[in-house]
A and B are shown apart, each in its own frame.
Chain A
Amino acid sequence: MRDISFSEATLEAMSEEMERDSRVFVMGEDIARQGGIFGQFRGLPQKFGFDRVIDTPISETAIVGAGVGAALAGVRPVVDMHFADFITVAMDEVVNQMAKIQYMFGGQCSMPLVLRAPDGIIRSAAAQHSQSLEAWFMHIPGLKVVVPSNPADAKGLLKAAIRCNDPVLYFEHKALFATKGPVPDGDVVVPIGQAKIVCPGSDVTIVSYSLMMNKVLQAVEKLADLGIMAEAIDLRTISPIDKAAIFTSVAKTKRLIIVHEAIKVGGVGAEIAAMVAEEMLDYLDAPIVRLGAPFVPVPFSPALEKLVKIETVDIVKAVQQICR
């Protein structure tokens, strides 16, 4: 176990998987010669050559589409989207092609394709470089969607995604790339679809993922000081979602809060709240609370940007309200 950054952890995963399987290759804008905007591909071409670490034209549609075609022809592409916002440029390829192909072709082929999508708010990146669009893809049957929150999961989930025979969207929060944390040595793979109870508690369940997990963990500490024992669940995967982990926890704590950086309307929290309301209403001692961004594009001005971000204090306040 050593402390490395989120970015280094994903680099280790890439390197180990490319070493293990010669069919794995990676392509995207600025990834080979520049090493990725967040350094997440640095050194890979020197190890595996420019034929397996490929700088592409600025053609998101073609990048994802070619990834789909390559997967159909028997290789295992990892495709970098530069910024998650730009997946929208390749929406047909993601929604109509890569998600559907196995099903509409009757299982004749698999689709072992990973889309890496740096998302979330960082320093005034503004409306077209700050979005968290993961809920869109939760709505599409055929895709798997992972959302790591720390270096260990970043590595383990990326390895699982690369080995998976289904298309996986891998959302990595831009503000997490530099954060450090303990990462186990060796070939550790985190199973897709398995949430993790990061800290057990009995008074309230807080479900979150990605960057917001850090805020949730800070809130859990503050709440403990106030005598509230919160159970924090890191989803790690939002499709397929680990319903059992959420339900088991809610059955115990009887209170539920879902926290994400993405817009609250139509978000992951909406889905979880609906699931729990449909099947577990009788267990609940308080209304379900969702914390997410207001219904507005992410503004540029730092003064406004901070208004759309969820902070630890917001989580503490919300929990206090339903735990009275």
Chain B
Amino acid sequence: MSYDTELLLRLYRQMAKIRIFEEKAQELFLAGELPGFVHLYVGEEAIAVGICENLCQNDFITSTHRGHGHCIAKGADAYRMMAELYGKRDGYCKGKGGSMHIADFSIGMLGANGVVGGGYNLAVGAALAGKILQQDHIAVCFFGDGASNRGTFHEAMNMAAAWNLPVLFVCENNQYASTTPYRMTTAVQDIAVRAQGYGMPARIVDGNDVLEVYDTARDLVEWIRAGNGPMLLECKTYRVKGHYVGDPELYRPKAEVDHQFASNDPLKRFAQAVISREWLTERQLTNIMAETAELIDQAVSMARKADYPAACELFTDLYAEREVQDHA
């Protein structure tokens, strides 16, 4: 199979953007510059990018607490994301949401979610809205293996299947639910088998191979767009970083992490594949890395200088409409 050069460049550029954004966020958090919590997507870039490259602007996605990668892959602006991490007014949520609540409604990114398993039903609802509005968008719901043990997973899968809604459920099986290993909380080997209980087809892919994710997602998205109902795609991956930045990671050996990252880094694997097949040159990839690093550096320096929201903005956006008078 051969690929369009532009596509290959874009896949790498998007993965690089996520990688560098995340490493920068880690550095800034550890330096004490960023408030709150930061959950990193390093090592899982191939999933968000492989999926979102198959979506249109008016397709919806819902995300998780580990949402930066999904935002970038769907086309969010790095500066506005960084400003949000700082709690600045220029941020996507005007500094009111932070890392776990970044959303960009202009590109159909319906928000990261601080509640594990909080996004499933939002995706189902977004898909349902298409029926009412007679629009043909689809909704993609990203979630982790840990979230698949929430009741919301089962209710959403059932409802989407019963109503034949255009939803792609994407499980990012990164082997850890917060700090607890997959095998200790989940009896089944693959989350994908659960789809069967809801009359839904499912596929499993190597989530660290962006081309495999991309190719599979293209078929699934096409199938869903054609009106065939929801599907589940399980992407096997590994959470390279801790649950959050600063996690002491007492629950797993460092050797396991190092081994996984050395042998299975999606950016490295992609680079090796495209260079050995002579689809792209090493120079092209190096240039992308350099350009992206510069872009993220700019975003950081702008975000540093940006203003915090003013005290008078505390109550804005709580309601769309002020009723007769303010609340007591």
Contacts and interface: CB of A to CB of B under 8 A. Distances in A.
Whether A and B are associated in the same complex: the answer reads yes
Interface of A: 22-23, 25, 51-52, 56-57, 59, 61-62, 64-75, 77, 92-93, 96-97, 101-112, 141-142, 144, 164-166, 191-194, 237, 239-244, 271, 275
Contacts, number: 180
A107 B317 contact: yes
Contact of A109 (B105, B118, B159): B105
Given A51-B132, A104-B97, A106-B97, A73 B317 contact: no
A96 B104 contact: no
Contacts of A68: 121-122, 125
B126 A73 contact: yes
Contacts of B121: 61-62, 64-66, 68-69, 93
Nearest to B102: A105
Contacts of B15: none
A25 to B, nearest CB: 5
A192 B323 contact: yes
A244 B123 CA distance: 41
Contact of A240 (B95, B132, B137, B323): B323
Given A59-B155, A66-B159, A242-B325, A142 B132 contact: no
Interface of B: 60, 62, 91-97, 101, 103-105, 110-111, 113-115, 118, 120-133, 137, 139, 151-152, 155-156, 158-159, 162, 316-321, 323-328
Contacts of B325: 193, 240, 242-244
A108 B130 contact: no
A61 B158 CA distance: 12
A53 to B, nearest CB: 11
Contact of A110 (B101, B118, B320): B320
A56 B155 CA distance: 11
A73 B140 CA distance: 13
Given A61-B155, A97-B122, A104-B97, 20 more contacts: A23-B132, A65-B121, A65-B122, A65-B152, A66-B121, A69-B123, A69-B127, A73-B139, A97-B118, A103-B96, A106-B91, A106-B317, A144-B323, A164-B320, A240-B323, A240-B326, A240-B327, A244-B325, A271-B328, A275-B328
A255 B97 CA distance: 44
Nearest to A112: B320
B254 to A, nearest CB: 35
Contacts of A106: 91-97, 317
9 contacts: A62-B159, A65-B156, A73-B125, A101-B111, A104-B97, A106-B97, A144-B319, A166-B321, A193-B325
A69 B320 contact: no
Contact of B122 (A69, A193, A244): A69
A70 B165 CA distance: 12
Closest 7 A/B residue pairs (Cβ)? A69-B125, A65-B121, A193-B323, A107-B317, A69-B122, A73-B129, A62-B155
Contacts of A166: 319-321
Contacts of A164: 320-321
Contacts of A110: 320
A191 B320 contact: no
Most buried by B among A69, A72, A108, A191: A69
Contacts of A237: 323
A77 B133 CA distance: 12
A140 to B, nearest CB: 11
Contact of A97 (B91, B105, B115): B115
Contacts of B92: 105-106, 108
Contacts of A96: 114-115, 118
Contacts of A77: 125
A271 B96 CA distance: 27
Contacts of A192: 323-324
Contact of A61 (B104, B151, B328): B151
A70 B110 contact: no
Contacts of B127: 69
A52 B134 CA distance: 12
A141 B132 contact: no
Contacts of B324: 191-194, 240, 242
Given A239-B327, A240-B323, A242-B324, A108 B105 contact: yes
A148 B105 CA distance: 34
